[in-house]
Amino acid sequence: MRVTLLGTGTSQGVPMIACDCEVCQSSDPKDHRFRCSAWVQSDDLSILIDTTPDLRSQALRAGIRHLDAVVCTHAHNDHLIGFDDLRRFCDRNRPPLSVYCSSETHERLLTVFPYAFQEDNSPYNSYVRAQAHVFDGPFELGALRFVPVLVPHGRTLTHGFILEENGIRHLAYIPDCAALTESMTEALRDIPVLIIDGLRDKPHPTHMNVPAALAAACTVRAGTTYLTHLTHDISHAQRSPLLPENVFLAYDGLVLDFPT
């Protein structure tokens, strides 16, 4: 299994519009952060986690040529509003694209992109055509098993996912997370790779900051941790040397390979 992080930035992305700070002006590509999403490849399966406002640019940059399924963490715009860009991965001669989401995210998709879920949704060939699969527990795609983990995220709940392949637990992907709950601790215990919300240094009501993410990584005894959903407060080059030895800043284009 291969996981490529297509975006590792907070909801406004980095650089932010009209910001002159050092990180927004940085020429280091690792300080350029699209909104958070990930591309999972396993055998010939190609799966996208979240459809950000940057989806088109992300797909072009990573060279995504087809998708077998899309998996949604939650209904916030920075993870969802690029959904229409999935049109390029839809084909009238094939079944609609499978979209795995919670019932809350499904409702939002039906509100914002109703045409995508209507049978025979358009006389044209190029519209997005999707088939929703509302999950309320683990689901399987080929050799992969996605285990949803319910995560607090301010006034809403979101899902992170533990990814298993052929029964081997590889990683957890939790881009938006306000705190580590007991049930999360249980589910994430000894996870080999943890990709988790680290946002910035200052506390935030709906996201963990860097100290909270480091504490969470310690509590669950994660093997290797990558902090994601980062703001312009975090300089990749300046911050990286200050992190514990098994913790790294995620960056756009980071590829993680997991032997089967």
The footprint of Zn ion (CB under 5 A) covers 16, 19, 21, 24, 76, 78, 176, 232
CB of 23 to Zn ion, least distance (A): 6
Measured distance CA(247)–CA(210) in Å, rounded: 11
Do residues 39 and 47 make contact, with C-beta atoms less than 8 angstroms apart?
yes
Specify the residue, 10 or 42, whose C-beta has the smaller distance to Zn ion.
Answer: 10
Distances (CA, A) of 249 to 50, 144, 225, 229, 234: 20, 26, 8, 10, 9
Sheet with 139-141: list strands edge to edge: 139-141, 144-153, 156-165, 168-174, 193-197, 224-228, 247-249
Specify the residue, 21 or 60, whose C-beta has the smaller distance to Zn ion.
Answer: 21
State the CB neighbour count (10 A cutoff) for residue 112. Answer: 14
Residue with the two structure tokens 């607090």: 152
CB of 130 to Zn ion, least distance (A): 21
CB of 67 to Zn ion, least distance (A): 21
Specify the residue, 225 or 231, whose C-beta has the smaller distance to Zn ion.
Answer: 231
Specify the residue, 125 or 238, whose C-beta has the smaller distance to Zn ion.
Answer: 238
CB of 53 to Zn ion, least distance (A): 11
